[in-house]
């Protein structure tokens, strides 16, 4: 069934915001001494762990998906806790998923599940930041906040790993950037390239990747030549020194490379895919974005976020998920299987999560007629596949009512450290802001040991 084309609201009415709201003011400031010192520190930095993965596809389930109705059902709990859905056995004996997660239940031997991540940030703004960065917010953050106190995983990976294809940016997000998915003090160079348009629509094209019809190749090259003359003006040749024009130059260079790169053009041309593959992913926006993410990874992009909004089910939980879950389950299972068939799963992480789980007890809000679940940071489930992660492993557990993670409890820091470790990035690394302030990449650099 086709998904809504426009981004879905959460309970705060959050929609797409301009990435420039991310607090990129940290780009400005600093000096020559700091720049030289930072350059020396970077040169002396020890190498990270040996990478087991080259890329990561992050499926961000914005709003906070329920763990009860997905990966952690409680069939023996009272009905006011367990809800309306039944539980089905998975490929791993003794492990059960929601009845609407049939394809993933049948392929649990190909991925792992973490059922024991919990934190203390039970609103969208703070929870999003914590899970996207591995850093808790420094000050209280409201649900609707668009916050960035620390670089996101995508920006860090783009900086530390870089794209294997120089014509493609190192970080993509589709169809929008998560509110805490930006670079913070790393600078605009490591912000995501956002692909807003729906690849399921006929005539799909990516703005800035193809020349406008009214601009001929000759005129484009002439304008490029004019730009090169202007660029002879003296610039501060160090991004750490905070020259905002340097970031603009980088965007210009990336845009020029994208237009002229055959590999980039092919990566975005989803029409090259066999119809059976496209049908397997699902002919809807989410399905085709997951397929495009696979194509970008094939093209050498190290980090791709598929932003999947609308998981904030305070009401109509069961009505919405009866329709949504079968499609979502089919798409994610197809992505894992497709990567495996192409020999890419061992080198590509696939991760699916949101900012938190949902409350154990069902409730019906004032003015509503159907029940839902509210925000709940004490328990959540995270799917992790590929990149050497073993299949069939379930890390940790919640209690019998799904109230709280109680076995092998993990933090957002442990989760993010796992991603970095598998990609060959030292989670204990210290970054420096343009002003020279040290910032730990992750304050607790211990990865989840069962997964690494």
Nearest to 124 by CA among 150, 146, 140, 143: 143
How many other β-carbons are positioned within 10 Å of the β-carbon of residue 175?
Answer: 21
CA atoms within 13 A on the CB side of 144: 6
Quick: pLDDT tens for 137-157.
877 666 666 667 899 999 999
Nearest to 439 by CA among 18, 50, 26, 58: 26
Report the alpha-carbon distance of residue 250 to residue 154 in Å, rounded.
Answer: 18
Give yes or no for residue 243 having a pLDDT over 70: no
Banded model confidence at residue 60, pLDDT cuts 50, 70, 90: very high
Delineate the domains of the chain, giving CATH numbers in brackets.
19-451 (3.40.720)
- Are the C-beta atoms of residues 359 and 67 closer than 8 Å to each other? no
Task: Give me 266's structure tokens.
Answer: 């092919």
- Model-level pTM? 0.84
**Crossing angle of helices 124-133/412-422, nearest 10°?**
30
**Mean of the pLDDT values across residues 339-356?**
98
Quick: pLDDT tens for 108-133.
999 999 999 999 999 999 999 999 99
Of all residues in the chain, what percent carry a pLDDT higher than 70? Answer: 76
Quick: pLDDT tens for 11-27.
755 443 333 333 333 33
How many other β-carbons are positioned within 10 Å of the β-carbon of residue 444?
Answer: 16
Banded model confidence at residue 8, pLDDT cuts 50, 70, 90: low
């Amino acid at each position: 069934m086709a998904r809504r084309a426009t981004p879905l609201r959460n309970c705060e009415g959050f929609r797409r915001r301009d990435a420039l709201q991310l607090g990129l003011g940290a780009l400005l400031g600093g000096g020559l001494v700091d720049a030289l010192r930072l350059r020396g520190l970077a040169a002396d930095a020890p190498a990270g762990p040996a990478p087991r993965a080259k890329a990561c596809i992050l499926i961000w389930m914005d709003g906070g998906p329920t763990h009860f109705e997905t990966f952690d059902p409680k069939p023996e709990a009272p009905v006011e806790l367990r809800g309306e859905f039944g539980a089905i056995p998975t490929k791993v004996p003794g492990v059960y998923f929601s009845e609407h997660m049939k394809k993933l239940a049948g392929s649990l031997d190909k991925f792992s599940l973490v059922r024991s991540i919990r934190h203390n940030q039970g609103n969208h703004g703070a929870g999003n930041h914590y899970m996207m960065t591995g850093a808790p917010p420094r000050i209280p953050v409201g649900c609707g906040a668009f916050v960035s106190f620390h670089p996101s995983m995508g920006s860090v990976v783009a900086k530390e790993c870089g794209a294997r294809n120089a014509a493609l940016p190192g970080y993509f997000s589709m169809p929008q950037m998560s509110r805490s998915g930006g670079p913070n003090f790393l600078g605009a160079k490591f912000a995501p390239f956002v692909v807003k348009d729906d690849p399921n629509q006929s005539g799909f094209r990516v703005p800035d990747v193809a020349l406008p019809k009214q601009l001929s190749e000759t005129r484009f090259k002439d304008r490029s030549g004019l730009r090169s003359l202007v660029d002879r003006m003296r610039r501060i040749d160090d991004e750490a020194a905070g020259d905002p024009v340097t970031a603009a130059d980088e965007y210009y260079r990336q845009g020029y490379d994208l237009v002229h790169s055959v590999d980039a053009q092919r990566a975005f041309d989803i029409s090259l895919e066999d119809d059976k593959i496209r049908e397997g992913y699902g002919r809807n926006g989410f399905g085709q974005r997951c397929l495009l993410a696979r194509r970008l990874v094939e093209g050498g992009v190290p980090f791709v976020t598929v932003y999947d909004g609308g998981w904030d089910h305070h009401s109509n939980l069961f009505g919405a998920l009866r329709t949504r879950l079968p499609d979502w389950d089919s798409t994610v299972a197809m992505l894992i299987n497709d990567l495996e068939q192409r020999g890419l799963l061992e080198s590509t992480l696939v991760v699916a999560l949101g900012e938190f789980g949902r409350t154990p007890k069902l409730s019906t809000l004032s003015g509503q007629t159907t029940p839902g679940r509210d925000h709940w940071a004490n328990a959540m489930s995270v799917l992790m596949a590929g990149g050497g992660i073993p299949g069939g492993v379930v890390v940790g557990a919640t209690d019998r009512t799904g109230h709280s993670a109680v076995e092998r409890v993990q933090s957002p820091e442990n989760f993010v450290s796992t991603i970095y470790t598998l990609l060959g990035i030292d989670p204990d690394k210290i970054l420096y802001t343009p002003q020279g302030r040290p910032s730990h990449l992750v304050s607790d650099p211990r990865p989840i040991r069962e997964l690494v």
